[in-house]
A and B are shown apart, each in its own frame.
Chain A
C-alpha cells in the first residue's frame, strides 16, 4: 500500500510537468502564429479595435443590424443562456414581446418573415452571428436610418454572409459586428 502511495505521488508530479507545463506552453507557442496570435482575433474600424470577431455585441441603435437576444446582455466577462424551458409561460411572454418590438421597427414585415433566431436567446449569450434571413429582413430598416440605397446595404450583407463549410456542411451565417463595421466604413 505504502509503495502505491509513493508511486502515485511521484507519478502525479512527473505527469504534471508534462501535462500542465510542457503541453500548454507548447500550444501557447504554436498559437502565437494563429490569426489572433493566441489572444483572440480582433475587429478594427479605422485602425481602432472595436471588438472581437468571435464575440457578439449588443446593438440597439436602429442604424445597426441587430444580433440575437442575449441572457447576459453580451457581457463577455461571463457567458450564459436563458435556460428557459420550452413550456415556461414567462419565457413565452418574452418571446412574444420580442416579436412585437421587431414588428414595431420593421412595419413592412409579416410575422412569418421573422426567423426564430431573432427572438430566441443564444446558448452562450455571445452569439456573434445571425441567420441570412435575419439579416435580410433588417436591410430596409438599416438603409432607411442610414439614408443609404437599399442595394448598397444588401450588397454589404451578401459580402458578409459566410456560407456552409466548404460549401457543403452546416448553416450559413452573418457576423453582425463585421457587417456593421463594413457599413460604418461605407459611410465615410
Chain B
C-alpha cells in the first residue's frame, strides 16, 4: 500500500486510540470521581480562591448561561481594545501597527467564538503580545467555554430529575487545567523539537545561497500551534496557518496536529455516554458521526489524489495528485485528510490553500461545515448533534405514534421549537450573508472600502461564488478556514461575518443547554415497552437522515451555483 495512504490510516487510528480513553477519563473527571490528575487540585483551589469563586455553589441552566455570557463579554471588550492599541503595547519586536476598528471587531469576535477567521496575517497584523494575551488566551478559554457548556448538558441527563447542574466556573477551569493545558504542553514540545520556533526573537534576516537578502518571520509559535489544534480553534501564528513550514515542519508534526484537533471532539462523545451511564449511546453517536466523516473523507481523497483535470490536459504528470496550494512534505493524501477533519470539526486550520483544491473537494468542505456536527468543535460538536437528536426524536415520535421522549423526559412543543430555530438558524445566516455579498458585488462594485467589491474575488465565475459562500459558511460554523483568495479585510466582510460569527456561536450553545435544562427539570418517566429507544442503531440512522435532509434542502441550490457548476465546466 502506498505510504501516503498508510499515513492517514495511522493518523486516524492513533486519534481513536487516544480519543476514546480520553473521553472515559473526562467523564470521570467532570463527575468528580478519582482520577490521576487529582494532584492538580491545589492549583484549581488557588484559581478559585483568587477569583472569588465558590466551587461548591450549584447553578441552574440559566445561571450557567449568564456566567458563560458574562465572561465572554469581558473578553470581547478587553480584546477589542488590546488589538486596536497593540502598537502601543509591549512585545512588538517587528513594529506592527494597531488593527483598524472594523478588523479588530472581526478578529476579537472570531477568537472569542472559537472560530479564528483571521482577516489579518499573523506576521504583520498581530504582535507577540496580542498573539499571546489575546489570541492564544482565547484559544484556551473559548475551547473551555464550549466544553463547559457541553458538560452542563451532560449533567442534565445524569440524574433523573434535577435543576442543579453543577458549577460553570468549575467545569470551565477544569477543562483548562485537566485537559487543554497539559495536552498543549505535550504537543508544543513535540512541535518545538521538530522545528517550530519558541523564542521571542523578532524577524531575522539572512543572505540566501543565491545572494538575495531575505527576511524571515518567527516568534514563540509552538505553544500557540498546540492549543490552536487541541482547542479546535484553527487560527494560525502565520498567515498561511499550518502550511507554513515553521508552523508545521514535517510529516510527524502534521500527524500530531491532525490528531490533536480530533481527539477532544471524539473524547466528548464518549465522555457524554459514560457520564450519563449509557455507553451504548456513545457508540451509536460515534458510529453515525464516523459514517458522516467517511462519506466526506473518502471522496475528498479520491478527488485530490486524482489530480486536476485541467493540468492533466497539459501533459505533466500528477504522480500523487493535485499540488497547487499544497506542500510536498505532506502530499495530496494527507492534505485531503486534513481538509476533511478541519471542516467536520470546527478547527479551520489549514495545511493547504483550500481555494486551490479541486471543485468537489471544496464542496465536501462546505458540506462538512454546513452539517457541522460530525465530531464537531470542542464541546459544541456534541451540542449541535444534540439538536438533531431532538428533531429526530420528535419526527420518529410522530411517525410511530408515540410521545416523543428523550432519556425519560417528555420532549414537548417548547423544546422542539428551540431545536428547530437553532437548526434553521445555520442555513439562514449562511445564505443571507452570501446573498448580501453577491448583491453588493453586483450593484455596488465601486463602493469605497479597503477592498472594492469589484476586487473581492480572486477567481472568476463559479469559483468566485464559492469563495463568498465558503466565507459565510465558515463564519456560521465557527470554523475559520477560508477560500483565502477572497479580499476579506474590509468593512463589509469584517462587519457581516462578525455578526454571523456571534449568532453562529452563542445561540447554538444556549439552545441545546436550554433544552437540556428544561428536560431535566421535568418528571422522569421510567422506560417501558412503549418508549422510543434513542440508543439504537435505527435511531442513529434516523438522526443521520434528519441531518442530511435538512442540509440538502437548505444548501443544494447554493452548492449547485458554486462547486458543482465549476466541476462540470472543468471536466467538459
Contact = CB atoms under 8 A, between A and B. Distances in A.
Interface of A: 1, 4-12, 14-16, 18-20, 23-24, 26-28, 30-32, 34-42, 45, 49-61, 64, 68, 74-89, 91-92, 95-96, 99, 111-131, 133, 164-165, 168-173, 177, 180-181, 184
Contacts of A9: 74
A87 B240 contact: no
B47 A15 contact: yes
A92 B324 CA distance: 11
Nearest to B172: A11
Given A15-B141, A86-B310, A125-B240, A177 B209 contact: yes
A116 B322 contact: yes
Contacts of A165: 7, 250-252, 255
The 10 closest A-B pairs by CB, nearest first: A31-B198, A123-B243, A83-B485, A85-B463, A111-B315, A81-B353, A77-B215, A169-B7, A170-B251, A171-B331
Contact of A87 (B50, B314, B458, B566): B566
A86 B199 CA distance: 38
B442 interface: no
A95 B312 CA distance: 11
9 contacts: A4-B66, A8-B73, A19-B181, A83-B356, A87-B459, A87-B569, A87-B570, A88-B463, A168-B7
Contact of A4 (B67, B133, B322): B67
A151 B132 CA distance: 51
Interface stretch (B217-225, B288-296, B498-506): B217-225
A27 B192 contact: yes
Contacts of A16: 133, 137
Contact of A36 (B121, B195, B326, B355): B195
A68 B123 CA distance: 22
Interface residues of B, number: 118
| Chain B CB within 10 A, most for which of A28, A52, A125, A171 | A171
Contact of B199 (A28, A84, A170): A28
A26 B185 contact: yes
Interface in B204-247: 204, 206-210, 212, 214-218, 220, 222-224, 238-240, 243-246
Given A14-B47, A74-B214, A34 B193 contact: yes
A10 B52 contact: yes
A75 B215 contact: yes
Contacts of A37: 199
A112 B316 contact: yes
Nearest to B324: A120
Interface in B546-572: 566, 569-570
